[in-house]
Structure 1
Amino acid sequence: MPQTETSARALRRAGWLAGLLPLAGLWVGVALWAAPGIGARVVAEGESIAATTFTNGEPWLRIAARGRDLVAQGEAPDEAGRATVLARLAALDGPRRIVSEIGLVETAAPFQWAATWTGGTGVTLEGSRPVEIGRKALEVEVTGAIGAGTPLRDAARAARGAPPDFSAAATFLAARLPSLAPGAKAVLTDTVLSLSGEAVDLAAYDALRTALSRPPDGFSLGKVEILPPRITDYRLALARTGTGAVLTGYVPSEAARQMALAMARTLTEGGPVEDRLQAARGLPGSVEPQDLIAFMGKLAGLIQAGEVTYAGGAVSVKGDAIDPQAIPEAQALQTEGRPAGVAAGTVTLAAKPLSPYRVSLRRTPEALTVSGHLPDEETRRRVLAALRQRVFREPVIDRTRLADGAPTGLANALDGAATMLSTLATGEAVLTDRSLSLTGESLYPEAADRAPNRVSTLLPAGWTGEVAVSAKEADTRRDGESCRQGVAAATATADWRFAVGSTALTPAFYPGLDALAALAKTCPDLRVAVSGPADPPGAKPPPTEEPKKPAKDGEKKPAEKKAGKAKAEKAPEPVPEAKPPEEENSGLARQRAQALMEYLLQAGMRPGQVAAGPDRGAGPATVALAP
C-alpha cells in the first residue's frame, strides 16, 4: 500500500479522536452543571414528603442527597409508616435509588443519652432522645445551655422510656461541658447523671463542684470523674497560728484534702482550721501525696507558730520551735525522714520560752491522752502513774515533751485534774500557765453539779479553775426481765481469771464488765454481787527478781558486807508468824472482788448497784444478781 494512503488513514483516525475529546468534555461539563440542580430537585421532592410526617411539631423524616441517591433518615413511629414513606419516595422521578436509614421508635431500657464535648468542633450527641421532644427543639435547648452557635452533630435516635424532666437534666449536663477540656463526656442514664473530663482551670473546677452538689430534682449523681487542672507552680503550706492552723496551696484529690485537714485538726487539738486548699494536678509522680502530707505534719508538730511549705519540690520549715530539742529533731527529719521524691529545704527555727505553758489530758472512750509539756521525767512518771491508778478501761497515751518554764505547782494541779477527769465519761482538762479548764460529760447529774465547787479544793494556791461539765443524757429505762437477761448475756461468756497472786485486771475482763456497767445505766433497780476467787491450793506466783540498788557513798559494797558478817555475829531476826493458807486466800479473794467493784463504779455503776458477794474458791470471778 502506498505510504500516502496509510498516512491519510492515520490522519482521519486522529481527527476522530480529536473531535471526541471536546464532546466528552462538553458532556462532563453539562453533567457537573446539571448535577446540583438535579440533586436540589430530588431533595426538594423528598422534603415535600417529609413535611407530611409531622410529630411533636417537627417531621420525623429527614432527607439528604448523595449525588442522585436520596437518603432517608429518622425514626418512624411504626413499620407501616416507614413502608408508606419509602413507597412514596420510590415513586419520585429523578433519584437513582432510595437509601433507607429509617429506624423505628422503640422503648430504650435503660434510656441513655450522651453528649461529648469536642471543643472547637462543638458537641456530638449519641444514644436516645425522647420521642416526645422534637429533634430540633432538643438541639436548641442543648446549644442554648452550652452557648449559642455551638456546632452540633446529633446522632441520637428517638425512643420511648425517657425519664420525666429529661430536658432539664440534659441541659444541666450540657451546661457543664464548656468548663471541661475537649474529650469530656456527659451521660444521662435514666435518672442518673454522670460526668467525666478535666477542668479547664481552678475556677471552673470549683464551679463544677458547686453545680454538681445540686443536681436537678428527681435526678442523682452517678460516676463523676472530674480531674483538677494541671499547674506548673505546685505548692502546699501549713501555717500554725498558736491556737489554729491555715492550709493553703494545692492538693491532687479530695482524699488528699481530707487527709490534710485531719492532720491539721490533730495538731491544733480541736482548734480552728482554715481550709484554703484548691484541687490541682502538678505534684510530681515520684511523690506520694499522703507521704508528703504526713511528713509536713511531723514538722508542723515541732513549731508553736510558723509555717511548713512544699514548693519547688522541697519542704522547708520556719517559725518558733515548741522547745529547744525540736530544732535538732526538725533537722534530723529533713535528713532522714523525707519521703521519696521530696528534697530538703531550709530549717529556720528559733527556740523561745513556752508561752503559754500548756498541758492537756483528754479522755475518750478509746484512750486517755496526755499532751503538751512537762518540766522533767519525774513529773512525767508521777502524772502517768496517777492517771493509770484512776482509769481502768482506757490505755494512757503519753505525747508529752519536756521543756523549762513550768508554773509552780504544776504537778499538784495535774493530780487534781486527773482526779476530776476520772469521774467523767468523756472530757478534757487543759492546764494553761496557772489556770485549769475542765470540760466534759459526767455520768450523773449530781457529779456534774458538784464539779465547779470541787475543782477549787484540788488546785494548788494561786491556781484558778473553770468547769463546764454536763450530765450525760439518760438512756431508755429497761424492764426487770430485760435487765436480768442482760446480766445473763454479759456474764455468759466471761472468763474472769486472775493471775496467781495478782489483783490486776487484764483486757479479757473489760468487755463483760463494760457491758454490765452500760446495762446498769438503763436498769436503775439492778443490783449485783461480785465474788472474787481464791488461788488454787499450793499455787505460787512467779518469782520476781529484786532490783539491785547501787551502793551509796560511804556504804559498804556487797563483798565488804559479806566479809564483815564473817567477823561479827548477829542474833537472828525474828520470823513473822505465817498466816494460815485459808486466811491468806480469803483476803486475796476479797481484794479481787474490790478491784472488780472499783472498775464497775468507774465505768458508771452507782454505789448502791454493786456489792461484794461471798468469796469463791479457785476459778474465775463471778457477778450474780443480788437478792
Structure 2
Amino acid sequence: MPTSSSVLSRLRPLTGPRYGWLAGLPVLALVWVGAASFAAPSVEQALESAGARIGAEASAGSPEPWLRVSAFGRDLIAKGEAPGPAQEDAALRRLAALSGPRLIRSEVSLIGEASPFVWTATRGGGDAIALSGSRPAEIGRAALAALVTADLPATTRLSDEAKAARGAPPGFPAAAAFSLARLRELAKGGTATLTGSVIEIKGEALSVAAYDALRTAFAEPPRGYSFGRLEILPPTVADARFGVERRPDGGLVLTGHVPTEAARAGIRAVAAETAEGAFVDDRTQTARGLPAAVDADALARFSLRLAGLLRQGEVRFADGRVSVSGDALDSQAREEIAGLLRDARPAGVGAGSVAVGASPLSPYKVAIRREADAVVLTGHLPDAAARERLLAALRPRFFRERIVDRTRLAEGAPAGLAEALEAAVPSLATLASGEVAVADSVLTLSGESLYRQSAQRLTDSLPRALPPAWTGRVTVQAPGAPSQSDAETCRSRFASETARPLVFEPGSALLKTGFYPQLDALAALVKACPGLRIAVSGHVDPPGTKPKPATDPAVPQTASIAKNAASKNAAARNGAAKSAVAKNTVTKSVAKDAAPGKAPAPNASKDAKPGAKPGPSKKPETAAKAAAAHGTVATNAVAPVPPATTDGAGTAAPAEDKAETKAAATVASSDLAAPEPDLARQRALAILDYLLAAGVPLDRIVVGEASRPAALGIGFEPRP
C-alpha cells in the first residue's frame, strides 16, 4: 500500500510551473461573461439609435417613418414599406455602412397597388384588435390608428400588421372606424372586412343588447359603402324562455327569446292568426339557449295554440316546462288545454302547472259571416242540438258555398238564440256579402244588398221576425249607395279638401284645369254629407291687376262677356217683351233641370260628350247666354225655398218640383232688367255650374258675397 508521502510526490508535478495557468481559467471566464453582459446592451442600444436615425432620414417627406429598424444583439432587422426601389436600396446601403452591425436582415417591402383593396380587423381577447391586409399608403399608420379608434375606449389595443398599399376607396377611415365599433359588439374571433367599398361582418354577439345594437347600426351603411354578408349569431343566454299573454280584448303579447329572425317572422304570422285581427305586441328578444332537444318553432306554435283557448291569461315556458294560467274560453276549452298538455307537447318540453278557470260568457257572442265562397260560423252555441239546428237552416240557403263551423259550446246563451239565428238566415241569404252578429239578445245584420229594394225591406222585416225581447239592427248598403259620414267627419274632410284656395286668372272667370280634382272631391264629399250644404263665394282681383290676354281666340274673356252683357241689357230695355220671353224660357229650363234627382249643367252644349268637364261655350254669344242662365240659377239657389225635410236616417228629402219652379219663375220675372253679375259673382257661378254638373243637388249650394283676400271661399252651413 503506497504511503502518503508517495501520493504527495505524484501530485506535486501538477502544481508545478508547467500546469499552474489552468487555475486562472475560471477567473478569466467570469471576467469575460461580465464584460459581455455589460457591453452587449450598450452595443444594441447604439445600433438601434443609429438605425432609427437612418430610418427617420430615409422617411423624410412621407406621412410617417416607413423604415423601422430593431437590433438583436449586433444584428439589425429592417422592416417597413418603401415608397420605391431607390429609397429601399439607399436605406439598406446606409445601414450596411455602420461599423457596429454583424448582420443586417431586410424585411422591407415596396408600396404597390392593391386590387382588390382588402382590410381585415379581428377581435381578440379583451380589448385587443388585430389588423391585417392593406391600409392606405397616403395615411400614416399612427394617423390611421388615431382616426379609427377615436370613438373606442382608451383601453383598446391595436396590433396593426396591415401593409401600406395604394387603391383604398374614398372614405376608408370612416368605414374602418364604423367596422371597429361594430366589432366591439362581437365575441372573440369576430371579424370585420372591407373589400373595396363593401363591408362584411361575422361573429357572435356578446349580449342581447349588443345584438339589438348591431341590428340598428346595420340599418344604414357609411356614406359610399354597402353591406355584403352580415353573419351575426345571436348571443347564448342561460335562461332561454318563451311566453304568450292573452289580453281581454283578444290581443297577444309575445315575450321571451327566439333563436333567429326567420323564426320570429314565422311566430308573428301564427300569432296574427291566433289573435284574429287583434293587436300582437312582439316583445321577444333574439337569443339562443333553448335545450338542444327543443324545437323553438314547435314550442312557439304549441304555446300559441294554448293561448288561443284562453279568454285572458298566460302561457309560459321556463325551466323546460310549459305552464298555463288564466280564464279559458269556456268549459270545453279547459278540457282541451289539459288534453294538449298531456298528449301534444313538443319533444323535450315538460308539463308545468295549470291554473285555468271558466267564467260565464259576457256578452254571449255568435256570428255568421258570408264570404265569397264560404259561410263561416264563429262564437258560441249552447249545445250540439242548437248547432245542428243552425246548420240545417243554412244548408238549403247556401248550398253552393262551403259552411265552415268554428263555433264552440258554452252555457249562458240568451233565450231564443236558435230561433233568432234561424230568422236571420233568410235575410243573410239575400245579401251579396254580410254578417249576422249576436251579442246577448241583440242581433245585427250588416253587409251589401243585391237589390236596393230588398235593403229597405230588410230594415222593416227582420226586427219583426225575431223572438220576443230580442232587438234587431239592420245596416245594409244598397249597391252603389254612397257611404254617409257624421257631421264632425264631414267638417274635418271639408277643411282638408279646401285647404288650397282656388284662385282665378286676373280678369277671368274661367275654371283652370287644376281646379277639377279639388271640385270633384268636394262634390263627392257633399254627397256623403246629406245634412250639410256649402256656400260658394268668388273673389275679386287685387287693385291694379291687369287681365291677361286671351290665349285662345275661341274662348271669350271677361271683357267680351261684359261687352256682350251690356249689349244684351240694351236690347232688353229696347225690347222688353222679347227679352222677357227669352229670359222666362231660360229660367224655366233651369228650374226644370234643377229638379230633384237631376243635376243641371247650364254650360252643356248639344254636342257635349258624357263625362266631359263643364266649361264655357266656344262662342262668345253662347257664353253670354250661359252667364245669364248662371245668374238665374244662383238667384234660385238663394231664394226662399220650402225647408228640406229629413228622413229617419238623416238624408235630406228634396223639395217639390212645383215649389222650385214657382220660385224660379218669380225670380225671373223680377230680374229682366238686372245688370250682368260682377266678376266675383261670375267666378262663384262658374264653381256653382261645375258642382251642379257633378251631381250636387241645387238645394245644397248657396252663393255668398265676394271673399277677401283674393281667394275662393267655400264653407259649411247647417241645413234648416
- Larger mean CA deviation between 243-252 and 227-236 belongs to 227-236
Amino acid at match of 1:312: D
Cα deviation 1:416-463 (Å, max 9, x = unaligned): 55654x448xxx876555354868xx9xxx989999978746855523
| Partner-residue secondary structure (3-state), 2:159 | strand
Aligned-partner Cα distance in 1 for 2:21–2:375: 113
Among 338, 341, 346, the residue aligned to 1:331: 338
The 8 Å contact of residues 361 and 368 in structure 1, kept in 2 or not, is answered as yes
Distance change (3 Å), C-alpha of 1:338 and 1:454: farther
Following TM superposition, by how much is the alpha carbon of 1:287 offset from its aligned partner in structure 2, in angstroms?
0.4
* Equivalent residue in structure 2 for 1:238, among 241, 244, 247: 244
1:219 aligns with 2:225: yes
- The answer on 1:7 being equivalent to 2:12 is yes
Partner of 2:285: 278
The percent of aligned pairs where both chains have the same amino acid is 46
Q: 8 Å contact 1:386–1:415 — kept in the other structure?
A: no
Inter-partner Cα distance in structure 2 for 1:28 and 1:363: 105
The reply on whether 1:50 has 2:50 as its aligned counterpart is no
Structure 2 counterpart of 1:378: 388
Aligned-partner Cα distance in 2 for 1:429–1:15? 128
2:203–2:233: 8 Å Cα contact kept in structure 1? yes
The equivalent residue for 2:91 is 85
**2: CA distance, partners of 1:285 / 1:26:** 70
SS of the equivalent of 1:352 reads coil
Instruction: State the Cα distance separating 1:467 from its structure 2 match.
Output: 7.2
- Which letter does structure 1 place at the counterpart of 2:243? A
Q: Give how far 1:236 is off.
A: 1.4
2:54–2:94 Cα contact (<8 Å) kept:
yes
Give the TM-score taking structure 2 as reference length: 0.57
Q: What is the CA–CA distance in structure 2 between the aligned matches of 1:469 and 1:109, rounded to whole Å? A: 71
Report what 1:344 is aligned to. 351
Matching residue within 128, 137, 152 for 1:122? 128
Moved more, 152-161 or 188-197: 188-197
| DSSP 3-state at the match of 1:127 | strand
Change over 3 Å in CA distance of 1:362–1:142 after alignment to 2: farther
Deviations 1:356-396 (A, max 9, x none): 334456788897755433443325524763785465xxx66
Candidates 80, 99, 106, aligned match of 2:105 = 99
Given the superposition, is the C-alpha separation of residues 327 and 58 from structure 1 closer, same or farther in structure 2, using an over 3 Å criterion?
same
1:302 counterpart residue number: 309
- What secondary structure does 2:325 align onto? strand
Q: Of the candidates 36, 40, 46, which is equivalent to residue 41 of structure 2?
A: 36
Q: Deviations over 1:533-564 (max 9, x none)?
A: xxxxxxxxxxxxxxxxxxxxxxxxxxxxxxxx
Tell me how far apart the structure 1 counterparts of residues 17 and 455 of structure 2 sit (CA, whole Å): 131
Q: Distance in 2 between matches of 1:364 and 1:56?
A: 78
Task: Check whether the contact 2:430–2:450 (CA below 8 A) recurs between aligned residues.
Answer: no
Unaligned runs of 5+ in 1: 472-627
Mark the CA change 1:242 to 1:377 in structure 2 (over 3 Å): closer, same or farther: same
Q: Deviations over 1:490-540 (max 9, x none)?
A: xxxxxxxxxxxxxxxxxxxxxxxxxxxxxxxxxxxxxxxxxxxxxxxxxxx
| Cα 1:435/1:55, change in 2 over 3 Å | farther
**Aligned partners of 1:65 and 1:334: how far apart in 2?**
75
Give the aligned partner of residue 320 of structure 1. 327
Find the aligned partners of 2:451 and 2:280 in 1 and give their Cα distance. 30
Contact 2:127 2:155 in 1 (8 A): no
Q: 1:19 deviation in Å? A: 1.8
- The 8 Å contact of residues 14 and 20 in structure 2, kept in 1 or not, is answered as no
CA deviations 1:575-621 (Å, max 9, x no partner) are xxxxxxxxxxxxxxxxxxxxxxxxxxxxxxxxxxxxxxxxxxxxxxx
Offset of residue 305 of structure 1: 0.9
Match of 1:41, SS state, is helix
- Counterpart selection for 1:410 from 410, 421, 431: 421
Q: Distance in 2 between matches of 1:470 and 1:86?
A: 96
| CA distance, structure 2, for counterparts of residue 44 and residue 448 of structure 1 | 104
1:229 to 220, 229, 235: 235
Residue 276 (structure 2) aligned to one of 257, 262, 269: 269
* Distance in 2 of aligned mates of 1:366 and 1:19: 117
Where 1:330 maps in the other structure, the secondary structure is: helix
Does 2:196 match 1:190?
A: yes
Paired residue type of 1:410: L
Q: CA deviation at 1:220?
A: 2.3
Helix, strand or coil at the partner of 1:132: coil
Preserved CA contact (<8 Å) 2:132 2:160: yes
Instruction: State the distance in 2 between where 1:210 and 1:184 align.
Output: 18
Cα distance, 1:208–1:110 mapped onto 2, change above 3 Å? same
Q: Which residue of 1 aligns with 2:472?
A: 463
In 2: Cα distance, 1:233 partner to 1:432 partner: 44
Q: Which amino acid aligns with 1:112?
A: V
Give the counterpart letter for 1:148 in structure 2. Answer: A
Deviations 1:234-260 (A, max 9, x none): 321101113311111222222232232
Distance 1:53 1:340 in 2: 68
Q: Partner of 1:254 in structure 2?
A: 261
Contact 2:315 2:325 in 1 (8 A): yes
> CA–CA distance in 2 between the matches of 1:31 and 1:59?
33
Task: Describe the SS at the equivalent of 2:257.
Answer: strand
Query: For the residues of structure 1 that align with 2:153 and 2:21, how far apart are their CA atoms?
Result: 63
Relative distance call for 1:272 and 1:151 in structure 2 (3 A) is same
Q: Which residue number corresponds to residue 289 of structure 1?
A: 296
Q: Which amino acid aligns with 1:28?
A: V
Secondary structure of the structure 1 residue equivalent to 2:104:
strand
Report if aligned partners of 2:43, 2:74 keep a CA contact under 8 Å in 1. Answer: yes
- Residues 155 and 27 from structure 1, CA distance in 2 versus in 1: closer, same or farther, beyond 3 angstroms? same
Q: Which amino acid aligns with 2:300?
A: I
Matched position secondary structure for 1:145: coil
Match of 2:137 among 110, 131, 134: 131
Shift of the 364–22 alpha-carbon distance from structure 1 to 2, 3 Å rule, reads farther
- Shift in Å at residue 227 of structure 1? 2.9
Cα 1:237–1:67 change in 2 (3 A) is: same
| C-alpha separation in 2, matches of 1:138 and 1:468 | 72
Give, in angstroms, the shift of residue 297 of structure 1: 1.4
**SS of structure 1 residue aligned to 2:146:** helix
Match of residue 25 from structure 1: 30
SS at match of 1:98: strand
**Paired residue secondary structure (1:325):** helix
8 Å CA contact 2:445, 2:475 repeated in 1:
yes
Contact 1:387 1:396 in 2 (8 A): no
1: CA distance, partners of 2:396 / 2:107: 87
AA at the equivalent of 2:32? W
State how far apart, in whole Å, the 2-side matches of 1:101 and 1:30 are.
32
Tell whether the 8 Å contact from 1:42 to 1:65 is kept in structure 2 after alignment. Answer: yes
Please show how residues 582-597 of structure 1 align to structure 2 within 5 Å. none
Between stretches 295-304 and 357-366, larger displacement belongs to: 357-366
Of 75, 86, 110, the residue aligned with 2:81 is 75
C-alpha change, 1:15 and 1:274, in structure 2 (3 Å) is: farther
Look at both structures and tell me which one has the larger radius of gyration over its CA atoms.
Answer: 2
CA distance in 1: counterparts of 2:472 and 2:116, whole angstroms: 72
Partner residue of 2:663? Answer: none
Tell me the TM-score normalised to structure 1 length.
0.65
**Conserved 8 A contact 2:370-2:433:** no
- In the alignment, what sits opposite 1:169? 175
From the two aligned structures, give the one with the greater strand fraction. 1
Q: 2:214 is matched by which residue type in structure 1?
A: L
* Displacement of 1:279: 1.9
CA contact (8 A) 1:413 1:458 kept: no
Distance change >3 Å, CA 43–CA 267, structure 1 → 2: same
Q: Can you list the C-alpha shifts for 1:198-223, whole angstroms capped at 9, x where unaligned?
A: 33333222222222223212222222
> Partners in 2 of 1:212 and 1:296 — Cα distance?
32
Question: Offset of 1:132 from its aligned partner?
Answer: 2.2
